Structure 1
Amino acid sequence: MTITEAPIPFVVDVPQSELDDLARRVRDARLPEPLGADDWSTGVPISVLRSMATSWVDDFSWREVEKQLASFPQYVVEIDGQRIHYLHVRSSRADSTPVLLCHGWPGSYLEFLDLIPLLTEPDDVDLQAFDVIVPSVPGFAFSTPLSGDGWSIDRVAQAFVELMSCLGYGSYVVQGGDYGAGVAPAMGRLDPEHCDAIHVNGSIGAPFQEPDEEEQKRCTETELDRYRRVGEFMKSEFGYISIQSTRPQLIGAALTDSPIGQLSWMLDKFRAWTYPFDEEPDGALGRSRILAHVTLYWLTRSAGSAAHTVYAADGGAWGDPQAKPSQPVGAIMFAHDIGIRHLAEQEFDIVHWTEVPDHGGHFAAMEEPERLAADLRLFLSALPSGR
């Protein structure tokens, strides 16, 4: 891979005409009549969409998001012909450790805004500090438009390896959840000389087959419940994967022209994957944060390209099984997560595993940033000094 030009500073400054157009479309949106009881069993309730749309126009401010983003240094660079956008926040501490944070879908680099200061400038001087690099995955946010096909997990990981080299880091660690939990070990496999450790949340060791009798005896009640929830997911929630992995341009065309469509497509997962189960997502994430993510997808026209990278580029899955990366791997499983340690150990050198049975969900950096930061530090502190 080649970097064709040096990184250049980037500032998020959306033209007011774009925001005015979005507000007009939301105000003028045609909502369907509710189906049945208008609950979550058939999708996002129309009453919820109507309430969220009102908040989007009357209460939410993208300009406030831009002000927050202005406090984080952002850049763009071209790698392998693809524009890569990233945050790069250096710690004031001389002993800081570089960490690359990788997001998933339907997230973005906005996931990490609360986590970054906890890592770069910890209140306790005895806590490890970090330089934080947060790239937008190709096809997401300002890493758009996609330069072409073929953005598999390995190609994305290689681009991020090149980014870390471009920034001058001789060693680093990587952390990711969801799609990022696939990119993180791929970076380890591709860059064993420089990537020292891998930390993930959520999905490694996920069970995608029914447990046989022997496996049932081996599993804890929590692990059996994860088998059950994955089974239910495959029966009742898998539709979005089928669409995004086979028709990403179709979903892109639909959502890029309908802000309510974009809102409902993402809100469905923000509700399904946060904790506590079966509650409105506002409590776990906050309405403004949800609307910030939806607005980012809308403004960057990235519904189709994000789906293409995450779900279609590897043929509808996240690639075939790979060799174990050489690095030690740490994992944290929050209440909504689905990983099982003995399954994860078949693919990774698991040296650290934390269970959080009563807090947090899929969007760990937004739901539980303090716990996530603490677990990353705990994992790294137990590694040999050579790491």
Structure 2
Amino acid sequence: MPRPTSDVHAYEAHATDADLEDLRARLAAARLPEAETVRRAAPDPRRWEQGVPLSDLVDVVDYWRTGYDWRSFEERLNRIGQFRTTVDGLGIHFLHRRSARADAAPVILTHGWPGSIAEFVHVVDELADPDDADAPAFHVVVPSLPGFGYSDKPAATGWGTERIAAAWVELMRRLGYGEFAAHGGDWGGNITTVLGGRFPAHVLGIHTTFAEGLPGATTDGLTAAERAWAEETRDFWRHRSAYAKQQATRPQTVGYSLVDSPVGLLAWLLDKFAEWSDTEDSPFETMSRDRLLDNVTLYWLTRSGASSARIYYESHDSLDPGLRVDVPSAITMYPRDIEKCPRAWARERYRRIVRWRSPEKGGHFPSLEVPGYFVEDLREGLAAVLAARR
């Protein structure tokens, strides 16, 4: 008998030995270009002006082939608890860790691109069962976006952020969470905003590292620091967003190389981890090679290079300018993120901001760059939005 689409069933990640051997063989046989023509001694962020420097890539490829242990990451996923269910005709994979605490609140954490559930694996236990009895605890749900990881790849158009947000509400309902909090950054922040704006009857409040103001916002009245934020964001979209335009218009074309070449995939993703992190040169100043390779290998083994890129085709610049978020919101703007929204702009959309933070360190990947601060900030932010609902 076919399994009902509303059923949630356990899932275990296990790559075949043949897939891992094929990966190592492809890495060993990789054809590499000549070195970049911008030659500078490390550390120097200008080394990356033409993209990932050849010497850096060679080092990571060698470690990926000879030292990295995928099985260790698989075991961590399986220990947390993995599941799949079918929502709106699409198989959705997710991690689910119930807290032992009676006072725990449910929260859904949504990743973006070029991330994955790997961004949150190491913080799930801390959120679910903190050592400090006075710290808030959560039942943690971490879904893989459609086309990412072990979720299904959509076979037709239509899986944009609005549809994903609706799917998350249904997913949480099936787990017994009629009301829940939500967190996200990057595309996960966009989806979290949609959750708070479209589904206030289900979403208790949101915490996000991505806040998007309304079109046409003026810089009048902003502080000097906020004006700098606005200018940095404009500069990013004018001069450093070719990847987004490529994936928004031709995801299939770039997808061939991302699915066929592990070195091509590594370079495409590593470039963003380097440029978008709070470092002076290499992303490995704050992130370990293993954590980054957990993420890249997940993309490789699930052949997600093209399917993950399609979220840009579906949703680039699609956030409804009329959408308002009236549930309590906690917003954290990390200093080296690629988009930083001034608070005055954020208030136009998020109309009940109960906590705002601008830490001194961190970039686009705070759970990996500053994990201790990230967990503390997320706990406090979620506690603030939940308290505002009482």
Task: Name the TM-score, length of structure 1 as normaliser.
Answer: 0.92
Amino-acid identity (%): 38
What displacement does 1:207 show?
9.0
For structure 2, the residue ranges without an aligned partner over 5 or more in a row are 40-46
Q: Partner residue of 2:320?
A: 320
- 1:226 matches 2:262: no
Q: 1:81, 1:63 → 2: CA distance?
A: 31
Q: 1:208 to 1:34 in 2, by over 3 A?
A: farther
Q: 2:388, 2:213 → 1: CA distance?
A: 31
Asked if the contact 1:93–1:129 (Cα under 8 Å) also holds between the matched residues in 2, the reply is yes
Per the alignment, in what secondary structure is the counterpart of residue 109 of structure 2?
strand
Q: Out of 333-342 and 133-142, give the one that drifted further.
A: 333-342
Asked if the contact 1:207–1:340 (Cα under 8 Å) also holds between the matched residues in 2, the reply is no
Q: 2:225, 2:26 → 1: CA distance?
A: 45
What displacement does 1:290 show?
1.1
Asked if the contact 1:331–1:354 (Cα under 8 Å) also holds between the matched residues in 2, the reply is yes
Q: Out of 373-382 and 84-93, give the one that drifted further.
A: 373-382
2:265 paired residue among 215, 239, 262: 262
Which digits, 9 at most, give the CA deviation of each residue in 1:204-231, with x for residues without a partner?
Answer: 146987x86xx26x33333222123223
1:125 paired residue among 125, 133, 139: 133
What displacement does 1:385 show?
6.0
Per the alignment, in what secondary structure is the counterpart of residue 70 of structure 1?
helix
Which digits, 9 at most, give the CA deviation of each residue in 1:84-128, with x for residues without a partner?
Answer: 000000011011000000000000011001221221111111111
Q: Partner residue of 1:43?
A: 51
Give the alignment of 1:24-35 within 5 angstroms.
24-35=25-36
Aligned residues: 376
Q: Partner residue of 2:296?
A: 294
What displacement does 1:339 show?
2.2
Asked if the contact 1:96–1:129 (Cα under 8 Å) also holds between the matched residues in 2, the reply is yes
Asked if the contact 1:205–1:345 (Cα under 8 Å) also holds between the matched residues in 2, the reply is no
What displacement does 1:371 show?
2.0
Q: 1:385, 1:180 → 2: CA distance?
A: 23
Q: Out of 186-195 and 5-14, give the one that drifted further.
A: 186-195
Q: Partner residue of 2:286?
A: 284
- Counterpart of 2:260 in structure 1: which amino acid? D
Q: Partner residue of 1:96?
A: 104
Q: 1:207, 1:41 → 2: CA distance?
A: 32
- Counterpart of 1:269 in structure 2: which amino acid? K
Q: 2:230, 2:252 → 1: CA distance?
A: 32
Which digits, 9 at most, give the CA deviation of each residue in 1:322-379, with x for residues without a partner?
Answer: 32122111101122131211111111122210110x2111112222233223223323
Per the alignment, in what secondary structure is the counterpart of residue 33 of structure 1?
coil
Per the alignment, in what secondary structure is the counterpart of residue 132 of structure 1?
strand
Q: Partner residue of 2:335?
A: 335
Q: 2:194, 2:323 → 1: CA distance?
A: 10
Alignment RMSD, CA only? Answer: 1.8
Asked if the contact 1:76–1:83 (Cα under 8 Å) also holds between the matched residues in 2, the reply is yes
Task: Name the TM-score, length of structure 2 as normaliser.
Answer: 0.92
Per the alignment, in what secondary structure is the counterpart of residue 345 of structure 1?
helix
Q: Partner residue of 2:274?
A: 271
- Counterpart of 2:276 in structure 1: which amino acid? W
- Counterpart of 1:374 in structure 2: which amino acid? E
Q: Partner residue of 1:204?
A: 211
Q: Partner residue of 2:43?
A: none
Q: 2:293, 2:108 → 1: CA distance?
A: 25
